[in-house]
Amino acid sequence: MRLPRLIALAACALLLTTACASPGSEAEMNIADPAAVKLGETVVAFSLSPDTSADNPAEKRQPGYLVLVRADGGTQLIETSGMTESHIAWSETGLFFSDDNRDYILGKDGLTGFENKKAGHQQSAFALPGSQGFVAVYNEGFSETGYTNQVAVTTSTGSRLYRVEGNYFMNALCGGVLNGIATDVGAHFAESATIPGMRSKLDPSAQPELLSQLYPATDGKEKVLAWRGVFDAGDHNRHVPCRDGVITFLSDYTDADGKPRTTVVSWNTGDGKYTEQPLVDAEGRPVTEKLVDPETFSQKTYDARALRGGHLEWLAADGRIMTTEIASGVTVPRFGTGFTSDSDSSSQAVFTDRSITLIQERFDGKTPVKIKRFDRATGNLITEITVPGLAERFGIRFNLRGMAVPPAS
């Protein structure tokens, strides 16, 4: 069956197509009117992004999909013009998602969209507190000033877009303030030369980490907050926690002397100071010695709500939920989930105060997408959902990307 065609919704000029499937229907999907799309009984939402390999070049890019999943495994698909590495956010207002032409909010009463042309590669998406809308970051790439990103702010009345200098892979929402951490600092690189410790002794061209305030904008620009002498950091989760103005995240990098380090970092957005602790197991050994395979550490996953009781919780590549004490760096396993990330599969986790929801895809073009929800306090399995049809229909041409659950899950 060929891909659903794009259809126009004249009422709000949405370039969207929706399709519905029921459990056991395999790849059979019927096109539905976009005007009828509602959140309904959706319990999990995730996005499907076109593969960006050589077999799917940019000039022949395929559309993307937002997948809405019910508790029984039934799905509702919304087709968009596409977004690489797409991310979504869910608040009391509804579900936010985007493509390279528009931003969308899907609520209980239906779908609203706003024209907002932007880069086709997304970094993150957050729901602003107090149902004030959503803020998202997009990777614009190299420009005349260096490496740049775009920030989009979407409310119930429209969207606006502005450029920021630097490539902010990792982002944190601190109250109503969006902060970004960049490892490619773009036009700011020259500034760091005046700050002690911000040059690698092995490679003076290596760039340190930059912490900036991206939203609200200051005079239409990002506000540089602080620098960190970290180089070759390559394991950034897109959404990381912030509590009381302090951003917490796991960091795998080399220092100015070229020494590898694996730490938990607390970075204060107020005064720019940070502390970090080496990740160690219960016996005080580096976690990469026995507890975690260093080759797969970068495949860990956690999000902006992963903090709990002075600990950062995260899903390791081997399927265990780990907990790291922020003050000491001591890391221990909590429970196994059975969802792994390796060359044949990928898993990701979404945290709420009450639960941890995991999703797994396998790269074989036939195994159904599977979802598990665990009680966060006890680790007990609450629900398990199998989503049929997607693998058979889309094969390995699409990658499962951003996931979200209702805020009160």
* Residue range 279-409, CATH number: 2.40.10.480
Torsion sign over Cα 316, 318, 320, 322:
negative
CATH 2.40.10.480 boundaries in the chain: 279-409
**Residue 286 DSSP class:** B
For 364-400, the pLDDT digits (tens) are 989 999 999 999 999 999 999 999 888 888 777 788 9
What is the model's pLDDT at position 220? 85
Whole-model pTM?
A: 0.91
**By mean pLDDT, which of 10-14, 201-205, 309-313 is the weakest?**
10-14
Q: Which amino acid is at 293?
A: D
Q: What is the mean pLDDT of residues 106-129?
A: 95
For 188-243, the pLDDT digits (tens) are 999 999 999 999 999 999 999 999 999 999 888 999 999 999 999 976 799 999 99
d(CA 31, CA 3): 10
For 83-96, the pLDDT digits (tens) are 999 999 999 999 99
Contact 237, 224 (CB under 8 A): no
Q: What is the mean pLDDT of residues 357-367?
A: 94
In degrees and rounded to multiples of 5, residue 36 shows phi and psi of -95, -5
First vs last C-alpha separation in the chain: 35
| 303 has pLDDT over 60 | yes
Distances (CA, A) of 327 to 52, 152, 260, 281: 40, 35, 20, 14
What is the model's pLDDT at position 61? 64
The mean pLDDT value of the chain amounts to 89
Residue corresponding to tokens 């159904």? 368
Neighbours of 246 (CB within 10 A): 20
Angle subtended at Cα 149 by Cα 151 and Cα 352, rounded to the nearest 5 degrees: 55
Over its C-alpha atoms, the chain yields an Rg (Å, rounded) of 21
Give the pLDDT band of residue 133 (cuts 50, 70, 90): very high
Contact 301, 333 (CB under 8 A): no
The rounded Cα 324 to chain-centroid distance in angstroms is 20
Contact 216, 223 (CB under 8 A): no
Torsion sign over Cα 318, 26, 3, 19:
negative
For 23-65, the pLDDT digits (tens) are 444 334 533 467 788 898 999 999 998 866 545 455 566 788 9
What is the model's pLDDT at position 35? 75
d(CA 64, CA 75): 15
Residue 332: enclosing H or E segment and its boundaries? strand 331-336
